Amino acid sequence: MNWWMCSECDYVLQAELPPEKCPSCHAECIFSDVTCYIPECGGVGRLDMKMVAEKAKADKNKIN
Ligand SMILES: [Zn+2]
C-alpha cells in the first residue's frame, strides 16, 4: 500500500494506486507519492510526514 497526497487540497490517503478523482475535493488532480521508503521517516510503507509537509508548502507557493 502506498500513500498518496492530492495536489489540490493536500488530502492524504492510503491505496495501491492513486484514485482518478480525489475523495476530498472531487477534482481530477495529481496525486503525489508520499510513501516512506527509508527507515528515517518511520519505516518502509509508512507515511512520510516530512514529504507531506514539503509538498503542502510547495503547493502553497505555487501560482495558480
Ligand atoms: Zn483533493
CA–CA separation, 46 and 34 (whole Å):
9
30 CA distance to ligand 1 middle (Å): 9
- Encode pLDDT of 9-61 as tens digits: 999 999 999 999 999 999 999 999 999 999 998 899 999 999 999 988 887 78
Q: Is 3's pLDDT higher than 60?
A: yes
31 CA distance to ligand 1 middle (Å): 9
Sign of CA dihedral 54, 18, 7, 9: negative
Q: Confirm if 34 and 52 have CB atoms less than 8 A apart.
A: yes
At 39, list the grid cell.
527507515
- Amino acid identity of residue 47, one-letter, is L
pTM score, two decimals? 0.84
Domains of the chain: which residue ranges?
A: 2-61
6 CA distance to ligand 1 middle (Å): 5
* Helix (DSSP H) and strand (DSSP E) numbers for the chain: 1, 3
33 CA distance to ligand 1 middle (Å): 14
